[in-house]
Chains A and B, each alone.
Chain A
Amino acid sequence: MIHRCPWPGEDPLYIAYHDTEWGVPERDSEALFAKLILDGFQAGLSWITILRKRENFLEAFDGFKPETLARYSEADIERLLGNAGIIRSRAKIEAAIGNAKAWLAMREGGQDFSDFLWDFVDGEPVQNRFASMKDVPAETQASQAMSKALKKEGFKFCGPVIVYAFMQATGMVNDHLVTCFRHDEVKALSRSS
Chain B
Amino acid sequence: MKNVIRWLPAVIVPVLVVGGALVAPAVANAASAPPSRTAQQVLALVAASKDAAYSGTIQQSSDLGLPQLPSVGPGSSTAGSDAASQLLDLLTADHSVRLFVDGAAKERVQLLDSLAERDVVRNGDEVWSYDSKTKKATHLTITAHAPGTHAPETRRPETQSLSPAQLADEFISAIEPSTKVSVTSTASVAGRAVYQLELTPKTGTTLISHVTLSVDAATGLPLKVVVDARGQKSDAFAVGFSSIDFSTPAAALFDFAPPKGTAVSSPAVPAEPAPSNRATTHAKPTVAGTGWSSIVELPAGAAGAPAPSASAAQGKLLDELTTPVGGGRALQTSLLSVLMTSDGRVFAGAVPIASLEAAAQ
> Is B truly associated with A?
no
* Interface residues, chain B, with chain A CB atoms under 8 Å away: none
* Interface residues, chain A, with chain B CB atoms under 8 Å away: none
